[in-house]
Amino acid sequence: MEWLIIPAILAVIVIITIISNIHVVPQAKAFVIERLGGYHTTWGTGVHFKIPFVDRIAKKINKMEQVADFPPQPVITKDNVRMQIDTVVFYQITDAKLYTYGHATPMTAIENLTSTTLRNIIGEMELDSTLTSRDIINSKMRAILDEATDPWGIKVSRVELKNIIPPREIQDAMEKQMKAERERREAILRAEGEKNSAILVAEGQKQSKILGAEAEKQSQILKAEAEKQSQVLRAEGEAEAILKIQQATADGIRMINEAKPGEGMIAIKSLETFEKVADGKATKIIIPSEIQNIAGLVASIKGVAEDSEKA
């Protein structure tokens, strides 16, 4: 029975060895495989088998995009202002073999390359340009770093200036300048507001005067229209009154004509009319002949009446 134990042990060792050399590469990972000390292949996503004691996993590579945040670096601008700038580099490993064998310490190399590139770019710019040209600096650094890291199997996608820290005295001067600029803008805005307010007040007064003149004109027009209507109504009333008087006179004459008055009645009416005329202030009265005859007739009648009474 002892001779069966050794083969069983060997079989278990073989099974364990085989299982231990089966590797599953996850998504966005890559394994660099060396065979007998030299580069053999790069495993991608999936199941792979490594020959025991012959193949070796040299490096496991993460192929997702990564971020490297480097500490602040001292730089000097063209106008001799010393300040601190820290950068953030976004990169991705595109070639596992080049990344493994291209440089011994690729991340240290990228950090040093970022520092030197940043000093070169900032050294050609003045302080004001440095503070207002982040996009230009980022673009230049990305282009330089991407070209320099191609032999290492690294793709630099973005470079960002995280912080720009000028000296304290420069910060104080900038704050004072910003405060003065804000005060200037405030004064300009206040002056513009007062100007606009004065313009609006003047426009309002102008519109008020125009509206007042229009109202006065309309009032005069309405008064004239009312006076005109009053005169028209008055004239119509007077005309209507004259018409009624003439109509009454005509009616009276018609009635007299229809009644056929005698000469005696006409004489009496004539005398009444003469009496009214005599009541006036006139000193000279012309009496028609017809009335004189009537007066003589009246005197004759009066004389006959008196003789009758004496008899």
C-alpha–C-alpha distance, residues 177 and 197, integer Å = 30
Backbone φ and ψ for 21, nearest 5 degrees, come out as -100, 5
Pair 72, 145 in one domain: yes
Q: What integer best gives the mean pLDDT of the chain?
A: 80
In a domain, 175, yes or no: no
Q: What is the Cα–Cα distance from 183 to 266, expressed in whole angstroms?
A: 112
Q: What pLDDT does 128 receive?
A: 80
Most confident of 167-181, 199-213, 257-271, 287-301: 199-213
Q: What does 149-185 look like in DSSP terms, one character per residue?
A: HGGGTEEEEEEEEEEEE--HHHHHHHHHHHHHHHHHH
Same domain for 150 and 74?
yes
User: Has residue 305 got a pLDDT over 50?
Assistant: no
For residue 144, tell me if it sits in a domain.
yes
- Residue 282 confidence (pLDDT) above 80: no
Residue 140 lies in a domain: yes
CATH number, domain containing residue 82 = 3.30.479.30
d(CA 95, CA 58) in angstroms, rounded, equals 14
The whole-number pLDDT of residue 302 equals 47
Which of these three, 62, 79, 110, is where a domain ends? Answer: 62
More confident residue, 294 or 4: 4
33: left (phi over 0), alpha (psi -120 to 50) or beta: beta
**pLDDT tens digits, 204-217:** 888 888 887 888 88
If one compares 188 and 242, the residue with the highest pLDDT of the two is 188
Same domain, 158 and 93: yes
Mean pLDDT of 255-269: 61
Residue 230 lies in a domain: no
Q: Give the tens place of pLDDT for each residue, 107-126.
A: 899 999 999 999 999 888 88
The dihedral region occupied by 249, where left means phi > 0, alpha psi between -120 and 50, and beta the remainder, is alpha
Whether residues 52 and 97 share a domain: the answer is no
Beta-strand relationship, 29-35 and 154-165: unpaired
Half-sphere exposure for 137 (CA within 13 Å, toward CB): 30
User: Which residue range forms the structural domain that includes residue 11?
Assistant: 2-62
Q: How confident is the model at residue 13 (pLDDT cuts 50, 70, 90)?
A: confident
Residue found under tokens 């991608």: 44
Same-domain status, 138 and 49:
no
Q: Quick check: is 116 in a domain?
A: yes
| Tally of domains within the chain | 3
Asked if residue 298 has pLDDT above 70, the reply is no
Q: End-to-end distance of the chain based on CA atoms, in angstroms?
A: 216
Which residues are paired to 43 by β-bridges? Answer: 31
Classify residue 297: in a domain, yes or no: yes
- pLDDT for the residue 229: 86
pLDDT of residue 83: 87
In a domain, 180, yes or no: no
Is 308 a member of any domain?
no
Residues 30 and 74 in one domain: no
Of 156 and 265, which is predicted with more confidence?
Answer: 156
Lowest mean pLDDT, pick from 58-67, 136-145, 295-304 = 295-304
Is the model more confident about 175 or about 282?
175
The confidence score (pLDDT) of residue 187 equals: 87
The Cα 282–Cα 111 span in angstroms is: 140
Instruction: Say whether both 125 and 77 belong to one domain.
Output: yes
Query: Are 57 and 50 in contact, with CB atoms under 8 Å apart?
Result: yes
Structure tokens at 169: 């005295």
